[in-house]
Structure formats: C-alpha cells, structure tokens
Chain A
Amino acid sequence: MMDVLGQPVKRHEDDRLVRGKGQYTDDIRLPGMVYAHMVRSPHAHAKIKAIDTRAALALPGVLAVYVGSDLKDTVGMIPTAWIPPNAEMKMTPHPALAYDTVRYVGDGVAVVIAEDPYTASDAADLVQVTYAPLEAVVNPREATESDKPLVHQEIPDNVAFHWSVGADLDDVFAASEVVVRQEFRQQRLVPSAMEPRAAVAQYNPATEEMTVWTTTQNPHIHRLLMSGILGIPEHRLRVVAIDVGGGFGSKIACYPDEVVVAYAARALGRPVKWTETRQENFIATSHGRDHVQEVELAGTRDGRIEAIRVKAFSNLGAYLSTAAPGVPTILFGLILNGAYKIPQASVDVYGVVTHTTPVDAYRGAGRPEATYLIERMVDLYARELKMDPVEVRKMNLIPHESFPYTNPFGLEYDSGNYEGTLRRALEMVDYPQFRRDQESLRKQGKYIGIGFSTYVEMCGLGPSEVAGAVGFQGGLWESATVRVHPTGKVTVFTGASPHGQGEETTFAQIVSHELGMPVEDIEVVHGDTARIAMGWGTYGSRTTVVGGAALHMATQKIIAKATKIAAHKLEVSEVDVTFEAGQFGVAGVPGHGMSFASVALDAYLAWSLPEGMEPALEATAFYNPKNFTYPFGAHVAMVSVDPHTGDVELMRYIAVDDVGNIINPMIVEGQIHGGLVQGIGQALYEGAEFDDQGQLITGSFLDYAMPKARFFPQFETDHTVTPSPHNPLGVKGVGETGAIASTPAVVNAVMDALAPMGIRDIAMPLTPIKVWNAIHQQGGI
C-alpha cells in the first residue's frame, strides 16, 4: 500500500457535496417543523416606541410572534468571549431581540413563527414597529469624537476598550534619521460564505434536551455559550453542524438568531427552522476588518528599520461579537513587525462601537490588517530612501539562523527561512528583466508595477495558557478520538469542525500513514457535540496544526496498545515487535507476524489480552500546543495599470509559501488559491460602505464586487518546507496565508506602477475610479 502522506488524495467529502448530497442545516426536515422569520430594524439607530403584532398574528398559519420583552427575563445577553487584558473593556449588552433601542440596520426586533416560511415572511412584513430614529455614527475614528451619538450609554466616547503594548517611542522617533508616516484604511468586508446562516432547534420536553443544528465553525463553543444564554445545562444541549458551506470567520460567533430559534422551539414545543436570506447575510452576519490606522516607521538612511508605532481605530460594530475584541488586539498588534527584525514597536488600539453590523474574525483575522500595514510601510520606506524594496526587505528580514526569534512583543517565532522563500520567488519572476521592461514601457506611456509581500503570520491557535493570558474565554487545545472497530476499520472523532477545508481527507491521510491502512477504511466525524466530547472548532488555521496533532497523539496511543497485544499474541517481548505498513512483525524473524486488523479483533474479543489490559482499541488525546506556528512566504504581484480608465490588470501572481510539512498538496494549493482570491479581492474589488445614516449601500452582489474566477491569472505557486519544530506533525497551517499575504503585494504593485506620477497611496479597494481620480489629481498622464 502506498503511503498517502504528502499525496494529492482526492477529497473524500467532495463526492457528496458536488452531487448535492450534503447535509446542510437548511436540508434538515423534522416532523412538525415550523419556520421563523426575523423582523429587523431598518434604522441604524432608533428608539423602539411600540411594536404591534396583531396583524401578523391574525394571518392564518402564524403561530407566534415574539419580541424583545418576551425573551428579556428568560434569555440572557449574547456575550463576547474575548476580553483583552489591561484594556478596561466594557461589555455591550446585547439582547437576543432588541427591546428598547436598535443599534444597526439588521438588529433583530421580533421573530415570527409560522407553519411555512412564506407565511412567516409575509407576517414579518405585518409586524408594525414604531421607531424614533436617532443620529448614527459609522466611522470608527469619528465615533470617538466628543459630539457623536453614543451606541451604548454605558460606553463614553464609544470606546469599548483601549489596548496598548510597547514602550513610549518618542525618543526613538525624535532621534531617527528617517521617519515615514502614513494613514491606512482597512475597509470593511462582507465574508459572503456560499451558504448563508441557518438554525434548526428541537426541544424534547420529556428529556428536557435541546438539539440545535446550526451553521457553526465551532459547535462546542456554541454549546458553551448557548447553555449560558438559554439556561440549558450542557449535558442537555446538543449542537450539530453536519455540513457547513464556508464560514471564513463569520460562523464563529454565537448570534442572536440561533438563540431566538431555540427559545421559540421550547416555547412552542415544535421544531423551528430559520434560514437567512442573502440580503440578511449582508447586514446581519458579521463583517470583517474596518480599521483606520495611523502608522509611523523610523529607520536609518541606509535602510535599517528601527521602530514601528501604530495607532489604530478598530470598528467593532454595534455589539461585541464572540471573538471580536481579540482580532484587532492580540491577532493584530502582537505581530506588527511582520517578518522583520525591528527592535522597537508599540501599538495603541481603540476598539470602537458604531451603528453598524458587528465585526468579527474574517479569514486572517487581525493578521491581514497587520501584514498590510507593515508590508506597505516597508515599500514606502524604500521609496523614501530611493532604495529597491527587495533590498530593504533583504536587509531587514529575520535571518534564518535567528530562530526561534522573539519579536518585540514577546512572541516566539518557531522556525523560518524568510530569505529562502524570497530567493525562490525572485527566481520565478526574473526581477531584473521586469525592471527593464517597466522602464521601457513607461517611455511608451504604459505602466506596469511589481509588488512584494514577505509575510509571516501566526496560527495554530494556540497554547491554552496563552489563550488565558490574552483573555480568550476558552482553551485552545484540541481533542481527537481514534476508535478502531473490531474489523480494524477506524472512526476518528475530532473536536475541530472543518467546513470546507478538507480535513475529512487530510485526517484520514494522517491515520492511514500511521496505522498503515487505506484511507477508505477511515471515517472522520466532526461537528456534533453528542458524538465528540469536547473541542474548540475550526478557525485561525488551527485544525491540522492542533487537531491533527491531537489525532497523531491518539494514533500513537493506539499503536502502543496494539503493539502490546501483538507482543502478547506473538509471544515475544514488546521491544522486538515491529510495526510497518499495518503489519506487526518480529525483529529478525521474517514471516512471523500479524495484521493490525487481527490485533483489533483480539482487542475486542479480549479472550487473551496481556495481564491487566482493558479490552477494546480506542484512544483519546488532548493536544495543548506548545506555541503558535508561524507560516511565512514571499508573494509577488505584477500588475499593469491603464491610466486612461484606472483599470488594474493582474498579470502574474507568484506565491511561495512555507507552511511546514504538507499532508495533501492539492488541498494546500486549493487553500492558497482561495485565500489569494479573497486577499486580492480586498485589494481591488471588495468594500462594504455605509452612508451617514448607517445604511449599507453595498448590500447586494449587484454592488458588492465579489471577485470572479475570470478576474485572475493562473496563480504560480511553490513551497519551501521548514517544519514547525514543536508540532508533532511539523505542520504550520495554511488556511489564511493567501488572504494575509496577497493584499499588500497587489497594492504595492499598483503603487509601484504609479510611482512616476508621485502617487503614494490609494485607499482600498483600488477600484478603477479611485485609481483614475488619483492619476487625474496628479495632472493625468
């Protein structure tokens, strides 16, 4: 049997998904099931004067209408689960249904339950809510000004927390030869998973058990939070996510909707289903990013970066979503120096509430915001010095012999060879030739540009002790159970919760490699709190790094026990037993041995086991990582800009990533492509915009430019392999690298193309009109 580790094994899950046989939450149909439809605020900020539900209740088929005051006494507030340390964070009381004030367009005020979804939707239109509209604020920096309306009366200046790290750097900046300053706007993004959110809740009054099927990236976190909110003990609350159609962070949070659905199911004694529309997804599912950043970089005249200082206003929206406060702090601020050895750094983050959709993690979560900032600043610094941006990078990258490397914020980068990925990328692009072409094309009035991003990110979140120290209200270890059946086939239970990433396949590959059995004989089960004791879910590129490591540990326990049984059966000492390719043998005695499957059967028959051994063959392991892992790489974008229209054409894109050991190169490639598309989408196309009244003016795919496949060239990818030294599989995580690295590479390339016109920066997304306006303001070409 071929060893499948490192092979491009086809994804096991795809057969059912592409044939429409997936089991998404909306596919669930239960006897007696009824349907919920939310009534949402059309105002960004208003007092609720009155709610009249009579007309809605009168519609035949309507079973109930619940409003905020119905839930108030029995349903708790929707909490946040990340409290950054030393930030004096104030909570934003978030009722499942608003009862006196609405704080963003989309805030839920009532729910209608009806026999069918169409009646529920019709009746929702009949719920009469009288609002007294109030002034709104949408921009995070402006929201902190003194004359602005408050989102929560208990939060003065709309600053929910102020988090800062690093020493006062005034002296360093004053003494420095060169200081570069720039303001960046990280625009807001709409995650837009292909499957909208949904929930089905069923309550069994006899057993007092509640089952909630929902679109979640982390069913156990959902269970923990919902247990508190609903007052249902965890042993009577089951959360299930069979297939989930993408999340990108937007399905981490515990939302009001699933809580309301569970409340209604219990109140009515009937299963209740709710599925959001795409329009609701735009306004009521968490958004990503949205910072205003004021950045300063200090360096020497010959190209050494000495310090970086950042003040960031992070827009959190109307309420603090589940992981929201951790994103612009821990996941952003602690890695601002990027892949560079910058001796001094400091960061100030204002977590600001506004009358907008809550913001939470979105692919990369914090690290794209940090990477964009540092990669853009390195280019601006190089430009200031009239040096080549590649030269400045080479001078400042952390050299491979410095690992493990402790960054100015105390993070320990595990391993790296940053020059190696840059070298490989430069080979792939033929940089000197590009510069020559650029020069001659400029003379013809054609503008091409090249942009680099030599990034590092942190993932595989993370040691639980660190989780606690940084205020995450959970552990960040992972669990795995390997159950070997009497026939020798295996079921794996993982506490991670893949929703498109392909771990049903990669995890089977790990087990196949370690136990020497075909991948077809291994089933990976995830996403059900009744089948998996505990876990923390899938986000932060942690699934293979942490969940895979737990799986490896559990498998090692299986091998250890099986080896003892084999030794007993073969009547040899344990140290003489060999195990290779699913076969137990005896060192030095060819032909003497037994298969793994027959050991499994013996374990279950238990007719003759070693003295004192328990029957069966099953092991559970809990892996608590020793550190984060730090994938890195060098990305290069080549663009051409049409000065007459402002169009940016991506000519080539080269991604050289080092994500440690690779279990399935095809899946890794797919993750990189998907990440690139999202990252480049941020650079060039996507941007959610609110007007002054807090209305989302990019509220559909007619206006919100979701990138299409035809917008991109064939990506050119390559890898170097620097295993993580502390991870048992040597893996580093790949889910977010593309989205983290690509945005600044593309913007750097466009700025390089426009350099002859003296253009330094354009706020993302670099739409044709903005690019053309920038050129036009410089007097055109």
Chain B
Amino acid sequence: MRTAPFEYHRAQDLDDALEWLAGDGDRDVKILAGGHSLLPLMKLKLATPTVLLDVQDVPELRGILLESGWVRIGALTRYVDLTRDATVGDSLPLLSQVAATVADIQVRNRGTIGGSLCHADPAADIPAAVLALDARLVLVGPRGERRVNLDEFTVAPFLTVLEPTEILTAIEFPIPLQSQQSTYLKRPHPASGYPVVGVAITGDASPHEPLSNVRVAVTGIGPKAYRAEKTEGTLKGQVPTPELFRAAADVAITEANMSDEPDLSYREQLTRVYVERALYQFYGGVA
C-alpha cells in the first residue's frame, strides 16, 4: 500500500467513537476528519495509525448552533460550510473570512475546523480566528468534558493537550457585540498556499474613537499561533493614527517567539508589515 496497513472503522456516534479510542491500548487509533492533513502524512508513512476511526457520521460533531451567548460549531464543520453558513456569516464574519482563505475549493470541501485545530500546524489559518474571537474548545473523553482555550490546547507544532482517548467535539465562540469589527490579512506561501503570516484583528471600533476590546492574533510566525497581547495593549484606548499602527507593529515583533527561525530578520519584517497593514485594513473596514 502507499500507507502502512491499517484497519478502518466508521463510528456511529460519540460513544462508539470514544469506545474505539479507549480501545485496548495496543492499537494506535487516529481520528479521520477531512483527511487533508492526516492522509498526506500516512502516504509519506510519517503517520502510521493501525486503526483509522472515521467520525463523519458522528452527529455530536456536526452542526452550527446558536445558543445563548455562544455559537457552537461542531468540530466536523467543513471550511466550505463556514464560508456559506448564515449564522456564521452574521455572528462571526471573521471566521468565514478566514475559512475562505484556506487552500482551494477542493480542500475547503473536505477540511474541517476541528481537524485544523487538532493537527496544530503552526502555519494554519483557523487558529488566528479562534484566538481573535476568544473561542474555547470542547474536549470529550472517558472522564467527561473539559473546555480549554486555544493557547492552552496547542502545546507546540503538531502537539496538543488532547489525550489519545479524547475527541474535540466543538468550538464555542462567544457572540461578539454588534459593534465588533474584524479583519484577517494573510500572506499565502507561493507554493503551498499556507499562511507565511496571517493577522486577525477584532475590536470595537469606529473612526476617530478610541479602540476597545481589541484582540490581535498572529499565525504562521513562531511555533504556534498567538495573541499579541502587548500589541493589543498599545492599541487599547487609542485613536487610530498611522503612528499608532507603526508603534503597534513594532511591539508585535517583540512578542513573536521566533528565536529558532531561519531568516529571522525577514520574518520579523513580515510580522511588522502585516500587523501594520492589517490595522489599516481593519480601519478601512470600519463603517
């Protein structure tokens, strides 16, 4: 085979899936969502699960629900759904905007929000939206449910706190205030299309008014996507000016954990430029 040999199981519901994950310990069970990260790794034999647990029929992982104060998005929701769903479009336009920048339509038709977060690629788009919208992840395991934010969830490149027996079932987004504005600015890699740097900004803003509730999330730079909190501090309560944007951008590079990266000064420069340009774009989009 192109992959190492594996068994395929299609889970019927969450309990069934959890049971398979709990297994008997000898088996390396991997959840299959959209397969657009996992299958390429399997074909390179970099991932060699012995059981592929297909969760596409698990109802608990599906759906986009408007609950009081929250939008609950099932982990299995595909990018294409995020770009087309009316609830997401109305309440979380940033998430639709970010999803629309992922890869091409073929990938968006298969790839899922949960798969992207669990894969924990440091160059992925979705984490920027999840951080900037301050969402939390719902993890279900044999000992029940827990909720973590993305910073806690992602440990390092391709590593999360998810236990082998746990499933990410949903991502819960607080419904933003009506006044929230948002934007995403991405620099796609010319070959892969993955973000070299992506900057998402949310905040309550109007021109000539001080900025509040601002969140700046950066992806593609460093070992994992991060909230640029000092940058946010620079912006908070300030009236937008080009000098402010420049100052915020200069702060942003001090927050990036980039010490190990090749081409450090260029990546710093990109971070600076993209934070600054994202701020212009953010204000350009403010009504």
Which residues in B have their C-beta under 8 angstroms from that of A772? Answer: 266, 269
User: A701 on the interface (CB 8 Å rule)?
Assistant: yes
**How does the 8 Å CB contact mask read for B253-276 relative to A, with 1 for contact and 0 for none?**
000000000010110011001000
- A644-B269, A769-B266, A772-B269 given; name 17 further pairs at CB < 8 Å: A118-B1, A122-B1, A125-B45, A644-B273, A645-B269, A645-B270, A646-B266, A701-B191, A702-B191, A702-B192, A703-B192, A704-B191, A705-B189, A705-B191, A706-B191, A711-B190, A773-B266
User: B2 on the interface (CB 8 Å rule)?
Assistant: yes
Which residues in A have their C-beta under 8 angstroms from that of B189? Answer: 705
Distance of B14 from chain A, by nearest CB (Å): 33
User: Chain B residue with minimal CB distance to A685?
Assistant: B190
> Do the beta carbons of A703 and B266 come within 8 Å of each other?
no
Mark out the residues of chain B between 188 and 219 whose CB falls within 8 Å of any chain A CB in the assembled complex.
189-192
Which residues in B have their C-beta under 8 angstroms from that of A767? Answer: 190
**Majority SS of interface residues in chain B?**
loop
Distance of B71 from chain A, by nearest CB (Å): 32
> Do the beta carbons of B2 and A118 come within 8 Å of each other?
yes
Which residues in B have their C-beta under 8 angstroms from that of A776? Answer: 265
Q: How far is the CA of A429 from the CA of B73 in the complex (A)?
A: 52
Q: How far is the CA of A125 from the CA of B2 in the complex (A)?
A: 10
Which residues in B have their C-beta under 8 angstroms from that of A121? Answer: 1-2
**How does the 8 Å CB contact mask read for B13-47 relative to A, with 1 for contact and 0 for none?**
00000000000000000000000000000000100
Q: How far is the CA of A776 from the CA of B1 in the complex (A)?
A: 49
User: Chain B residue with minimal CB distance to A121?
Assistant: B2
Mark out the residues of chain B between 84 and 119 whose CB falls within 8 Å of any chain A CB in the assembled complex.
none
Distance of A173 from chain B, by nearest CB (Å): 39
User: Chain A residue with minimal CB distance to B270?
Assistant: A645
Which residues in A have their C-beta under 8 angstroms from that of B190? Answer: 685, 705, 711, 767
What are the 10 tightest A-B residue pairs by CB atom distance, in nearest-first order?
A705-B191, A705-B190, A118-B1, A702-B192, A644-B273, A769-B266, A703-B191, A685-B190, A645-B273, A704-B191
Q: How far is the CA of A711 from the CA of B190 in the complex (A)?
A: 9
Q: How far is the CA of A118 from the CA of B1 in the complex (A)?
A: 4
Q: How far is the CA of A701 from the CA of B194 in the complex (A)?
A: 12
Distance of A751 from chain B, by nearest CB (Å): 20
Most chain B C-beta atoms within 10 Å of own C-beta, residue among A125, A644, A701, A711: A644
Which residues of A are in contact with B by a Cβ distance under 8 Å? 118, 121-122, 125, 644-646, 685, 701-706, 711, 767, 769, 772-773, 776
> Do the beta carbons of B192 and A701 come within 8 Å of each other?
yes
Q: How far is the CA of A773 from the CA of B270 in the complex (A)?
A: 12
Find B263's partner among A645, A704, A769 (CB 8 Å cutoff): A769
Could you tell me how many residues of chain B have their Cβ less than 8 Å away from some Cβ of chain A? 14
Q: How far is the CA of A534 from the CA of B70 in the complex (A)?
A: 73
Which residues in A have their C-beta under 8 angstroms from that of B266? Answer: 646, 769, 772-773
Mark out the residues of chain B between 41 and 63 whose CB falls within 8 Å of any chain A CB in the assembled complex.
45
Q: How far is the CA of A644 from the CA of B268 in the complex (A)?
A: 11
Which residues in A have their C-beta under 8 angstroms from that of B263? Answer: 769
User: Chain A residue with minimal CB distance to B4?
Assistant: A122
Distance of A662 from chain B, by nearest CB (Å): 34
Q: How far is the CA of A767 from the CA of B263 in the complex (A)?
A: 13
Q: List 24 A-B contacts (CB under 8 A).
A: A118-B1, A118-B2, A121-B1, A122-B1, A125-B45, A644-B269, A645-B270, A645-B273, A685-B190, A701-B191, A702-B191, A702-B192, A703-B191, A703-B192, A704-B191, A705-B189, A705-B190, A705-B191, A711-B190, A767-B190, A769-B266, A772-B266, A772-B269, A773-B266
Q: How far is the CA of A769 from the CA of B196 in the complex (A)?
A: 12
User: Chain B residue with minimal CB distance to A277?
Assistant: B2
Which residues in A have their C-beta under 8 angstroms from that of B2? Answer: 118, 121
**How does the 8 Å CB contact mask read for B214-249 relative to A, with 1 for contact and 0 for none?**
000000000000000000000000000000000000
Q: How far is the CA of A368 from the CA of B192 in the complex (A)?
A: 27
User: Chain B residue with minimal CB distance to A698?
Assistant: B191
Q: How far is the CA of A703 from the CA of B273 in the complex (A)?
A: 23
Q: How far is the CA of A595 from the CA of B27 in the complex (A)?
A: 78
Distance of A119 from chain B, by nearest CB (Å): 8
Distance of B134 from chain A, by nearest CB (Å): 29
Which residues in A have their C-beta under 8 angstroms from that of B191? Answer: 685, 701-706
Q: How far is the CA of A706 from the CA of B265 in the complex (A)?
A: 26
Q: How far is the CA of A769 from the CA of B2 in the complex (A)?
A: 36
Distance of A129 from chain B, by nearest CB (Å): 17
Which residues in B have their C-beta under 8 angstroms from that of A702? Answer: 191-192
Most chain A C-beta atoms within 10 Å of own C-beta, residue among B187, B265, B266: B266
Mark out the residues of chain B between 164 and 192 whose CB falls within 8 Å of any chain A CB in the assembled complex.
187, 189-192
Q: How far is the CA of A703 from the CA of B269 in the complex (A)?
A: 21
User: Chain B residue with minimal CB distance to A767?
Assistant: B190
User: Chain B residue with minimal CB distance to A711?
Assistant: B190
Distance of B125 from chain A, by nearest CB (Å): 16
Which residues in B have their C-beta under 8 angstroms from that of A125? Answer: 45
Q: How far is the CA of A776 from the CA of B273 in the complex (A)?
A: 14
Q: How far is the CA of A125 from the CA of B45 in the complex (A)?
A: 11
Q: How far is the CA of A772 from the CA of B270 in the complex (A)?
A: 10
Distance of A772 from chain B, by nearest CB (Å): 6
Q: How far is the CA of A776 from the CA of B265 in the complex (A)?
A: 10
Q: How far is the CA of A184 from the CA of B189 in the complex (A)?
A: 26
User: Chain A residue with minimal CB distance to B187?
Assistant: A645
Which residues in A have their C-beta under 8 angstroms from that of B192? Answer: 701-703
User: Chain A residue with minimal CB distance to B45?
Assistant: A125
Distance of B186 from chain A, by nearest CB (Å): 13
Distance of B216 from chain A, by nearest CB (Å): 19
Q: How far is the CA of A61 from the CA of B263 in the complex (A)?
A: 49
Q: How far is the CA of A769 from the CA of B190 in the complex (A)?
A: 12
Q: How far is the CA of A644 from the CA of B263 in the complex (A)?
A: 15
Which residues in B have their C-beta under 8 angstroms from that of A646? Answer: 266
Distance of B104 from chain A, by nearest CB (Å): 9
Q: How far is the CA of A463 from the CA of B101 in the complex (A)?
A: 53
Q: How far is the CA of A122 from the CA of B191 in the complex (A)?
A: 30
Q: How far is the CA of A645 from the CA of B190 in the complex (A)?
A: 14
User: Chain B residue with minimal CB distance to A122?
Assistant: B1
Distance of A766 from chain B, by nearest CB (Å): 12
Q: How far is the CA of A773 from the CA of B273 in the complex (A)?
A: 15
Which residues in A have their C-beta under 8 angstroms from that of B1? Answer: 118, 121-122
Distance of A746 from chain B, by nearest CB (Å): 15
Q: How far is the CA of A337 from the CA of B123 in the complex (A)?
A: 47
User: Chain A residue with minimal CB distance to B1?
Assistant: A118
Q: How far is the CA of A486 from the CA of B183 in the complex (A)?
A: 71
Q: How far is the CA of A685 from the CA of B273 in the complex (A)?
A: 21
Which residues in A have their C-beta under 8 angstroms from that of B45? Answer: 125
Distance of B103 from chain A, by nearest CB (Å): 12
User: Chain B residue with minimal CB distance to A706?
Assistant: B191
Distance of A342 from chain B, by nearest CB (Å): 37
User: Chain B residue with minimal CB distance to A701?
Assistant: B191
Q: How far is the CA of A701 from the CA of B266 in the complex (A)?
A: 23
Which residues in B have their C-beta under 8 angstroms from that of A701? Answer: 191-192
Most chain A C-beta atoms within 10 Å of own C-beta, residue among B189, B191, B266, B273: B191
Which residues in A have their C-beta under 8 angstroms from that of B269? Answer: 644-645, 772
Distance of B188 from chain A, by nearest CB (Å): 10
Which residues in B have their C-beta under 8 angstroms from that of A645? Answer: 187, 269-270, 273
Q: How far is the CA of A703 from the CA of B45 in the complex (A)?
A: 19
Distance of B24 from chain A, by nearest CB (Å): 26
Distance of B255 from chain A, by nearest CB (Å): 20
Distance of B199 from chain A, by nearest CB (Å): 13
Distance of A648 from chain B, by nearest CB (Å): 11
Which residues in B have their C-beta under 8 angstroms from that of A706? Answer: 191
Distance of B111 from chain A, by nearest CB (Å): 16
Q: How far is the CA of A701 from the CA of B40 in the complex (A)?
A: 13
